[in-house]
Amino acid sequence: MAYFQSSSQISDIIVDLPSVDGKTQNKAASRQAELTKPPGSLGRLEEVAIWMAGWQRRDRPAIEHGQCLIFAGNHGVVAQGISPFPAEVTAQMVANFANGGAAINQLCNLANLKLDVIPLELDRPTNDLSLGPAMNEDETIAAMNIGAEALDDHCDYLIVGEMGIGNTTAAAALCLGRFGADATGWVGPGTGLDDDGVKHKAKVIEAALAAQSPVAQHPVALLAAFGGRELAAIAGAVLAARMRSIPVMLDGFISTAAAAALTADKKLGVLDHAMISHMSGEPGHLRLAVALRKQPLVDLRMRLGEASGAAVASLLVRAACATHNGMATFAEAGVSGG
């Protein structure tokens, strides 16, 4: 049976999501205080270990069945000239993933994450969001279900990414619809626009907001209006992970924007189980991270997409778990001062 049946049912799910296991989280925090190191000396690795423990609901967190989900989709708004690359590149990159030739293939191999790439109707782009809704409600919920059902039965840690020419425009429009402010603050070069191209992209996004206002502050409404199939699938996967208490590492601007749709109606707690892996080079990502009250783990000036930043951050998650689980306590090591 599908995870999601209707907008109202999704609202009910969001109201009744499982919380972090506070008892296990407190145990993990206590262990960190007993390990052979000055308090706080491992910085955010300590925070990551405690976060993992609380959501995995085990004292010794670990990535045993880590999964990377990449969703691919095409966008009708490409017809507005918002990308220097044609829509055909989406399918070509999906083939590159399948052949093992992309950055994410190398990074998932290194981080020991199972990689699954799911194309969503690449031969049927969404509607042009600058003229009206990109999708209808049924299409949006169907894509969310594809994302949710892509999680493996034994998944205990998830990273999400995307591929889709034009999807930085969709992500920026989604952020504008969710958080407001001005279009110029959400747009960036994407796959390589020059300054004039970025200004044009902002005008296209402003046109989308003007054509569709008002849009209800509901995840399905926002994703239908401004998103794409791959963004809706990411949102579905992230929500399904929360339903199963699986910690999630978001990638960059697009993945974070897709997940941010779940926080509609000021429900930021929907993403308590998710961290932002890295600060994207897309200018709108800083604004988005601030709006979500999340600090990305690293800033490597990456803006590739395809879950690459989340895969790199997964190496830090493994480091956090290894130190948390493997270090001796002061008492075990016979070291004074603990």
Tokens 């990502």: give the residue.
Answer: 285
Residue 192 has pLDDT above 90, yes or no: no
pLDDT at 338 over 60: no
Q: What whole-number distance in Å separates Cα of residue 219 and Cα of residue 262?
A: 5
> Among candidates 250, 222, 263, which has minimal Cα distance to 17?
263
Task: Find, among 326, 124, 141, 332, the residue nearest to 222 by Cα.
Answer: 141
SS3 70: strand
Cα–Cα distance measured from residue 162 to residue 143, given in angstroms and rounded to the nearest whole number: 13
Q: Categorize the per-residue pLDDT at 203 as very low, low, confident or very high, splitting at 50, 70 and 90.
A: very high
**DSSP H helical ranges for the chain:** 7-15, 22-34, 44-56, 88-98, 103-111, 137-149, 167-179, 195-212, 219-226, 229-243, 253-260, 284-292, 308-326, 330-333
* Distance from chain centroid for Cα 240: 13
Can you tell me the mean pLDDT for 157-163? 98
For 79-120, the pLDDT digits (tens) are 999 999 999 999 999 999 999 999 999 999 999 999 999 999
Q: What are the distances in angstroms from CA 110 to CA 3, 150, 299, 308, 316?
A: 32, 22, 19, 12, 12
CB atoms closer than 10 angstroms to residue 210:
9
Q: What is the pLDDT of residue 236?
A: 98
* CB neighbour class for 215 (10 Å; exposed up to 12, middle 13-18, buried from 19): middle
pLDDT bracket for residue 191 (50, 70, 90)? confident
pLDDT at 1: 63
Distance, CA of 238 to CA of 234 (rounded, Å): 6
Grade residue 74 by pLDDT with cuts at 50, 70 and 90.
very high
pTM for the model = 0.97
CA–CA gap between residue 6 and residue 151 (Å, rounded): 20
φ/ψ of 94, rounded to 5, equals -60, -40
**180 C-beta neighbours (distance < 10 Å), count:** 11
Residue by residue, DSSP assigns 94-142 as: HHHHHTT-SHHHHHHHHHT-EEEEEE--TTSPPP-TTTS-SS-HHHHHH
Mean pLDDT of 218-236: 98
**Whole-angstrom distance between the N-terminal and C-terminal Cα of the chain?**
52
Residue 336 has a pLDDT of 86
Give me 119's structure tokens: 């194309």
**Of residues 279, 227, 286, the one with CA closest to residue 258:** 227
How confident is the model at residue 335, as a pLDDT?
A: 94
Q: What is the pLDDT of residue 238?
A: 98
Active-site residues, by number, are 306
pLDDT tens-digit map of 283-332: 999 999 999 999 999 999 999 999 999 999 999 999 999 999 999 999 99
Neighbours of 221 (CB within 10 A): 20
